[in-house]
Chain A
Amino acid sequence: MMYVTPENTVAGQQQLVGHFSWFKYSSPQTFFRLAGKLAPWFAVAALVFAVAGLYLAFFVAPTDSQQGEVYRIIFIHVPAAWMSMFIYVVMAFWSGMGLTFNTRLSGMMASALAPTGALFTFLALWSGSLWGKPTWGTWWVWDARLTSELILLFLYFGFMALKAAIDDPRRADKAGAVLALTGVINIPIIYFSVQWWNTLHQGASVSFTSAPTMAATMFAGMIVMALAFWMYSIAVTLMRVRCIILERECDSQWVAEYMGSVK
């Protein structure tokens, strides 16, 4: 007969050893509370950065000498495109954590990130299309940058559809993680597509290796809008992971206690 004693549970062992462990936060119960505390602060930060970013975008950044006012789409297009790729990488990171450490929270985080990643991918494509029409004369072209970004959208959809199709959440987490990790190969393809192929899409205006090829105020507006989208993404991901945790753990004792405390 096996009794549950402090020694044979992970939490018990941590209590006995008494040291700080990051794995404590991989418990959905602990993370639920942490996410609830953090989300409002990220939402406020998103709002502040968005107001500052929009002010820079429309009132400080000058008119572009070649494109005129239509270039102002850059202040949402580039940040949305950055977020679409960054969120995928974070999703793949959590997927890798889930496969390696078999932590329940990892799969929940990956699920929480996917819809926001898909949204930013769509917004990058949408704003790009509205920018392409007046500057290139076409809404869409099958060049390497646009096509690989469209594939990113399908990867997000595939990830969500696959997870939704598998009833057992733990098996769905594993299958989703394999898909997410396989698809991460598309990220460098998107990023370097403008160098590797001859694309209608322009090369990077901002890179890690050289100074930005734009006015400082334009650059500042883009960075501040990127921060706004980043903070927004963290806030909504934390909100969504709280929903997922409650949905998945609805039979557990701590959720019952939580429900008792909110009423």
Chain B
Amino acid sequence: MNWASWNDFLAMGGYALYVWGSYAVVFALLATEIVLLALRKRRILQQLDRMRDAARGGIL
């Protein structure tokens, strides 16, 4: 085990800013990409829904 305590772990031997600054941005941006993709999928499905309803309206 590398760490004597929770605080020891968070301190990263004095390099907390650099280590956590790297990891936080990496995982935040990867999560953001997934959220943006889910929103894009929802947007295109809603648009396809409207197109289908418009096409039905045209036939009736």
**Interface, chain A (partner B; CB < 8 A):** 58-59, 61-63, 68-70, 72-73, 76-77, 80, 115-116, 119, 122-123, 126-127, 130-131, 133-134, 232, 236, 239-240, 242-243, 246-247, 250, 255-256, 259, 262-263
Contact residue among B14, B17, B33 (Cβ-Cβ distance under 8 Å from A116): B33
CA distance A131 to B17 in the complex (A): 10
A interface: dominant SS: helix
CA distance A73 to B23 in the complex (A): 8
Interface string of B38-60 (1 = CB under 8 A from A): 00110011011101100000000
Is the pair B52, A69 in contact by a Cβ cutoff of 8 Å? no
Closest CB in chain B relative to A109 CB, distance in Å: 15
Is the pair B26, A76 in contact by a Cβ cutoff of 8 Å? yes
With A76-B22, A123-B25, A247-B44 already in contact, the answer to whether A62 and B33 are too (CB < 8 A) is no
Counting chain B residues whose Cβ lies within 8 A of the other chain, the interface size class is: 20 to 34
Closest CB in chain A relative to B52 CB, distance in Å: 6
CA distance A259 to B45 in the complex (A): 8
From A122, which residue of chain B is reached at the shortest CB distance? B29
Closest CB in chain B relative to A51 CB, distance in Å: 12
CA distance A122 to B33 in the complex (A): 13
Interface string of B11-45 (1 = CB under 8 A from A): 01111011101110110011001100100110011
Q: Which residues of B contact A236 (CB under 8 A)?
A: 33-34, 37
Closest CB in chain B relative to A15 CB, distance in Å: 29
Q: Is B2 an interface residue (CB 8 A)?
A: yes
Q: Which residues of B contact A243 (CB under 8 A)?
A: 37, 40-41, 44
Residue of B1, B30, B34, B44 with most partner-chain A CB within 10 A? B30
CA distance A122 to B51 in the complex (A): 37
Is the pair B30, A250 in contact by a Cβ cutoff of 8 Å? no
Q: Which residues of B contact A239 (CB under 8 A)?
A: 34, 37, 41
Q: Which residues of B contact A256 (CB under 8 A)?
A: 52
From B12, which residue of chain A is reached at the shortest CB distance? A69
Contacts A/B (CB < 8 Å), 25 sampled: A59-B2, A68-B14, A69-B12, A69-B13, A70-B15, A73-B19, A73-B22, A77-B22, A115-B33, A122-B29, A123-B26, A123-B29, A127-B25, A127-B26, A130-B17, A130-B22, A232-B30, A236-B34, A236-B37, A240-B40, A243-B41, A250-B47, A250-B48, A255-B48, A259-B48
